[in-house]
Amino acid sequence: MVTHLYPEERRSATVLFADVQGFTGLAEQLDYETVSDLIKDIWSRLDAVIEDAGGYIDKHMGDGVMAVWGAPYASDRDAEKAVHAALALIESLNDYARKSKIHDTEKLNLRVGVNSGEVFAGYVGTKNEYTVIGDTVNVAARLEQAAEPGTTIVGEATGQLIRNIFEIKELSPIQAKGKTEPIKAYKIIGTRSSASKITYESLDKLETHMVGRDNEMSRLRIFFEQSLTSIIPTLILVTGEVGIGKSRLLMEFSQKLQLDYPDAQVVTTRALAQTSRVPYHIWRLILFRRFGLLEDALNEQNRRAFEQEINLLWNERSSGTAAAEVVYVMGRLIGFDFKQDERNLRHANTVEEEFDNISDLTRELLYRLSLKGPLVILIDDLQWADKESLNLLYSLVKPGIEPLPIMILGGTRLILLKDYPQWWGASHITTLGPVAMNAAMVAKAYPDLKSLPDHILEELASRAEGNPYFMEEIVKGLVRSGLDEIKATPDETISRIQSQIPESLRAMLQARLDNLTRESRTVALMASVVGRVFWVGALKVIARANTGTGTLTVMPEQVIDRLLQDGLRQLVRAEMAFPRAGSKFSDQQEYIFKNSYLRDVAYSMIPHRSRTTYHRVVAEWLSKFEGTSYKVMAAEHFEKSGEFSSAADQYEKALEMANTRRSLGEIEILKSRTQAARDAGTKAKENG
């Protein structure tokens, strides 16, 4: 048995093809050795760009490369990273061509195609190398061929995933071999400029209203009103799981505040994952915003503007610190260059001293600003803030000698409080729970859907399980296919809502599963076969039958048990599954996946050939238990493993029990299910 480095899975991934144009022309004019060096040189640069952007280099073919994001492991925002890489690749080659001494390299150009969707990731082909295959890959290659030199074209799913970050332009659909329908394509124009403003993910065209957060809004309002008469800073953290609506609440609150309190100074900003290691990045952004500076304009003119603002502030009342020193310390923090005139200024001797100095000056600066009107600083995604910014923030909210009447409102995922437990004591924490949705609220949140029948809206509400992000992703998918279509085919719509997973959601949940250890992820995948609710006993039989992916094979029973328990513990710690009290099977610990999408995504990752086996062993395990519901569950698992006559046998046993109980409705359903299973068995036999 080979144990592979990576598991074989069906995954959601983003695939990039890039091809260098113009090598052939160059090769005709140059010596072979020069060409060979040139090619090596270029690819070592381009490969580095891909790897820096988190991509997996799948293979080089001719003058091109194929790279993957989302396999072997997914991360947050793979599609975004792939498109960033595409732009960086083009830029890197252009840069090379400009600087190269070799004649005519400026004729070299890169074409890039990017596409997202389901792939099979595994060991394929005669060389048995890890790669991804499938339609998603073929389309990415086709998009690359269709791109003009020096440009990037992305497919439909990628376009949907990145449109909040990149400017895109729809192209006329592209014909592809082996596809009846032409494929939708978008050209990447560039990055949108608003990336560091607080945003909530939303398709620009879809009108949405915030619902079910009245209590939280008034709570924030009360904190604000209290802060108006307080002389100490108020720090409020809005926390909650991914997509629960933290950013949206912050946005709505800040808009309301600016309407109701025109003299309030509301400064909004957000941390980004890619700047989480840039010291003081958040404070840099805050100062930029407050003083109306542009992020990419650290020029002399802006420096003077900043200096002037500080001088004005410091002239208003006396201070122990000279304005020039504030300009110097805070200006350097922002990134201004002060090489010429730093001679007369004090220098910190240690890192601690420097930090204390920055903290004191920030405090005084904010205090002086607060005299001009209520000062409210909003910082979203604090979980991604750099350490120095967090420490500075923390040092400000500690009670000080000087008064500091400001309100700071942070949005953060729960992880921040796990990493910095001391924040619990320093702040008011508002944890957002699920939004209790019903049909009327769905209609209110999405006016476009108002005309849809109630039972469809109800289905949407129940599928989203109180998570507005889930909700919005499902709605986007629906709206895209057209409301008339939905009204004409309500039954299909319902089953689509029940069975399909929007691509963005799938990518996000897959990334969360990938954050687990391999054992724990294997446990999650095995558990997903059992269902939203699963039992340790069922996991054991799957683990024993698990010969495909290699992690848990050929191991003594106790080792398997230990791995399962470890894996389960981690799933629980990651809040992806929870143990349930009072299991149906007396000696079987019962667990439940946090939400049904998580279960569905885990399930979708299992290769089809393994699924069949897993379902069979679960069916056999379940069939040993008495009680109608186990018989029915067993039958359903047999059906999924294609063993229809065993399924029929289980339905029949359930039928006998229902007969004894004279439960008429049940009898009728079970009879037809038995018959259906028998028929399916006969048909399967006929088809060989």
Q: What residues line the site for Mg ion (CB under 5 A)?
A: 246-247
Q: How far apart are CA 453 and CA 490, in angstroms?
A: 8
Residue 243 contact, options ligand ATP, Mg ion, none, Cβ 5-8 Å cut-off depending on partner type? ligand ATP
d(CA 426, CA 650): 59
The nearer residue to Mg ion, 274 or 500, going by C-beta atoms, is: 274
Residue 202 interacts with ligand ATP (CB under 6 A): yes or no? yes
State the minimum distance, in angstroms, from the CB of residue 253 to ligand ATP: 12
Of 165-173, 466-474, 572-580, 597-605, the segment contacting ligand ATP by CB under 6 A is 466-474
Q: Does 246 bind ligand ATP (CB under 6 A)?
A: yes
Is 56 a binding residue for ligand ATP by CB under 6 A? The answer is no
Under the criterion CB under 6 A, does residue 54 sit at the interface with ligand ATP? no
Partner whose footprint covers residue 242, from Mg ion, ligand ATP, none (CB < 5 to 8 Å by kind)? ligand ATP
464: nearest Cα among 492, 498, 487: 498
Nearest to 362 by CA among 398, 336, 338, 409: 398
Report the residue number, 364 or 459, with the smaller CB distance to ligand ATP.
459
Letter string b/e over residues 233-268, b meaning 16 or more CB atoms within 10 A of that residue's CB: bbbbbbbbbebbbbbbbbbbbbeebeeebeebbbbb
Residue 78 binding ligand ATP, by CB under 6 A = no
The reply on whether position 502 binds ligand ATP by CB under 6 A is no
Helix (H/G/I), strand (E/B), else coil: 33: helix
What are the residue ranges of helices labelled H in 481-607? 483-488, 490-499, 503-514, 518-530, 536-545, 557-573, 596-604
Q: Residue 330 binds what, of Mg ion, ligand ATP, none (CB under 5 to 8 Å, by partner type)? A: none
For the chain, the residue count is 688
Query: Which range of residues in 174-182, 388-396, 467-475, 609-617 is near ligand ATP by CB under 6 A?
Result: 467-475
Residue with tokens 């910190």: 348
Question: In this structure, are residues 502 and 476 in contact, taking their beta carbons and an 8 Å threshold?
Answer: yes
Binding residue (CB under 6 A) for ligand ATP from 171, 242, 533, 669: 242
Would you give the end-to-end CA distance of the chain in angstroms?
30
Q: Measured on CA atoms in the order 34, 36, 39, 40, is the torsion positive or negative?
A: negative
Q: Does 77 bind ligand ATP (CB under 6 A)?
A: no
Q: Least distance in Å: CB of 445 to Mg ion?
A: 17
- How would you classify the pairing of strands 406-412 and 375-380? parallel
Beta carbon of residue 211, minimum distance to ligand ATP (angstroms, whole number): 4
What distance in Å separates the CA atoms of residue 370 and residue 396, rounded to the nearest whole number?
A: 14
Site string for ligand ATP, 373-392 (x = CB under 6 A): --------x-----------
Please list every residue from 406 through 465 that binds ligand ATP, using CB under 6 A.
Answer: 413, 435, 445
Which option in Mg ion, ligand ATP, none does residue 502 bind, with CB closer than 5 to 8 A by kind?
none
Q: CB neighbours of 430 closer than 8 A, spacing ≥ 6?
A: 216, 219, 220, 236, 237, 238, 239
Cβ nearer to Mg ion, comparing 187 with 413: 413
Q: Residues 10, 248, 611, 637: which binds ligand ATP (CB under 6 A)?
A: 248
The answer to whether 644 and 684 are in contact (CB under 8 A) is yes
468 binds ligand ATP per the rule CB under 6 A: yes
405 interacts with, out of ligand ATP, Mg ion, none, CB within 5 to 8 A per kind: none
The one segment of 143-151, 236-244, 304-312, 361-369 that binds ligand ATP by CB under 6 A: 236-244
Residue whose C-beta lies closest to ligand ATP: 245
Q: Retrieve residue 139's tokens.
A: 């389309």
Name the residues that contact ligand ATP, by CB under 6 A.
200-202, 208, 210-213, 240, 242-248, 381, 413, 435, 445, 468-469, 472
